[in-house]
């Protein structure tokens, strides 16, 4: 018996099945229209290795310029808040610490510097800024411990980026690894010198 045209099976309109899918796509576009628009604009440049900065980076770089060159720094706070609302795990967190330090609120500055240290422990200046504020508060031992934390980090991980002698490893990879290796060595050397001052 042929199954074609079986009148006992209900006919399903496929358009009704697709409605939830269309609604889900519409919701995603509405929620992420900013990043999606940026991605669509930058895909051609990405293919040419000439990608522009994401919007959150443009915001915090603008804020950084304000913090460096202006005495009226409140607009920087607005830019940093916008940047962090897009991505809370960027350099904007460090710059927010710099903002509060310039405003004279070292407590909040420390809070944001320490938060950024958890996000990215590879940035030497974060350890230095935290230690400097702690020193200004008379907390020399706490400052020493922060510098020691940084030294231990760079001492532990710098060897992982030592350029490989394996000929199968690309020059491009070795060049990138060498840059990180040298940066970690400089940070380690700097922190070692700073720590030696506490021994006297």
Q: Which residue has the higher pLDDT, 101 or 159?
A: 101
pLDDT value, residue 159: 77
pLDDT tens digit string along 112-153? 999 999 999 999 999 999 999 999 999 999 999 999 999 999
Give the global pTM: 0.69
Banded pLDDT at 61 (limits 50, 70, 90): very high
Q: What are the Cα distances from residue 54, in Å, to 58, 87, 119, 123?
A: 6, 10, 18, 21
pLDDT tens digit string along 83-116? 999 999 999 999 999 999 999 999 999 999 999 9
Q: What is the DSSP string of 43-97?
A: HHHHHTT-PPPPHHHHHHHHHHHHHHH-S--HHHHHHHHHHHHH-SSSTHHHHHH
> 10-19, 59-68, 76-85: which has the minimum mean pLDDT?
10-19
Q: What are the Cα distances from residue 4, in Å, to 1, 8, 11, 29, 131?
A: 9, 11, 12, 40, 79
Helix (H) or strand (E) holding 108: helix 106-119
């Amino acid at each position: 018996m042929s199954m074609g045209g079986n009148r006992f099976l209900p006919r399903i309109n496929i358009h009704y099945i697709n409605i939830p899918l269309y609604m889900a796509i519409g919701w995603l576009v509405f929620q992420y229209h900013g990043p999606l628009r940026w991605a669509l604009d930058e895909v051609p440049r990405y293919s040419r290795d000439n990608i522009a900065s994401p919007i959150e980076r443009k915001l915090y770089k603008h804020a950084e310029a304000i913090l460096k060159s202006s005495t009226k720094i409140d607009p920087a706070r607005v830019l940093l808040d916008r940047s962090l609302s897009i991505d809370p795990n960027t350099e904007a967190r460090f710059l927010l610490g710099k903002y509060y330090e310039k405003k004279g609120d070292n407590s909040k500055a420390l809070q944001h510097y320490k938060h950024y240290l958890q996000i990215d422990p590879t940035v030497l200046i974060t350890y230095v800024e935290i230690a400097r504020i702690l020193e200004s508060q008379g907390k020399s031992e706490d400052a020493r411990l922060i510098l020691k934390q940084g030294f231990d980090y760079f001492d532990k991980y710098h060897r992982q980026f030592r350029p490989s002698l394996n000929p199968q490893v690309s020059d491009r990879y070795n060049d990138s690894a060498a840059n990180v290796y040298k940066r970690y060595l400089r940070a380690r050397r700097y922190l070692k010198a700073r720590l030696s001052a506490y021994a006297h």
